[in-house]
A and B are shown apart, each in its own frame.
Chain A
Amino acid sequence: AQKVTQAQTEISVVEKEDVTLDCVYETRDTTYYLFWYKQPPSGELVFLIRRNSFDEQNEISGRYSWNFQKSTSSFNFTITASQVVDSAVYFCALSEASRRGGGNKLTFGTGTQLKVEL
């Protein structure tokens, strides 16, 4: 069974600090997809990134970067020079490869609440 663990329940940082959100996953499939979603205080869930299991290249998008390491089953998310607007709950999620009918469940971690203060 697939599982996603976000051990950090809450992180508080001061603006401009770098922060890394950890995500560890478990799956028996060799083909799977990893995601990060952001849930700001307004409540909606916003997609940030999708990575498939065959692409271990790290990715950078502005102040955001993701480190995917299959050897440690981790898909960590780093925010550089954090800003108050980054305050949100961040969810890591895992989906195993599509099967007939559109695939398996997207399993979410329990989320990490990030608070960025001035």
Chain B
Amino acid sequence: DAGVIQSPRHEVTEMGQEVTLRCKPISGHDYLFWYRQTMMRGLELLIYFNNNVPIDDSGMPEDRFSAKMPNASFSTLKIQPSEPRDSAVYFCASSFYGHTGELFFGEGSRLTVL
């Protein structure tokens, strides 16, 4: 079975550009999470969805970040405009039981903003 699929795996962009990260969760999982990993802050939850509805977006850094889940099989995380401090690895994860169950992570999208 396919796991969580993220694209792109690597993205290098210039400050001010729009960045869109994509995620396809595991089929049947009702929860989808976006995490960011940096050396300074570790793993941070940005936002999560349950049945395509955003439940908690308190981790989204600022208005430049937005996330959508138009259907059960697709989610996007958008940064507009991007800044160098957004450079990080962004992970998407899905789960059947929410935060109390096993999270299945994608391979991550490594973003570098110059």
**A44 in complex: contacting residue of B42, B56, B102, B107, CB < 8 Å:** B107
A97 to B98, CA, bound (A): 10
- Chain A neighbourhood of B59, CB < 8 A: 105
Q: How many residues of B contact A (CB 8 A)?
A: 27
**A108 in complex: contacting residue of B31, B42, B110, CB < 8 Å:** B42
- Chain B neighbourhood of A111, CB < 8 A: 42
User: B60: shortest Cβ distance to chain A, in Å?
Assistant: 13
**B43 in the interface (beta carbon within 8 A):** yes
- With A108-B43, A110-B42, A111-B42 as known contacts, state yes or no: A50 contacts B105, CB within 8 Å: no
**B64 in the interface (beta carbon within 8 A):** no
**A45 in the interface (beta carbon within 8 A):** yes
**B106 in the interface (beta carbon within 8 A):** yes
**B88 in the interface (beta carbon within 8 A):** no
- Chain B neighbourhood of A91, CB < 8 A: 43
- With A43-B89, A110-B42 as known contacts, state yes or no: A105 contacts B99, CB within 8 Å: yes
**B103 in the interface (beta carbon within 8 A):** yes
A101 to B89, CA, bound (A): 27
The answer to whether B45 touches A105 (Cβ under 8 A) is: yes
The answer to whether B91 touches A45 (Cβ under 8 A) is: yes
User: B55: shortest Cβ distance to chain A, in Å?
Assistant: 5
- With A45-B91, A110-B42 as known contacts, state yes or no: A102 contacts B99, CB within 8 Å: yes
A115 to B79, CA, bound (A): 35
The answer to whether B91 touches A102 (Cβ under 8 A) is: no
The answer to whether A95 touches B99 (Cβ under 8 A) is: yes
**A62 in the interface (beta carbon within 8 A):** no
The answer to whether A47 touches B99 (Cβ under 8 A) is: no
**B75 in the interface (beta carbon within 8 A):** no
- With A44-B107, A101-B50 as known contacts, state yes or no: A50 contacts B102, CB within 8 Å: yes
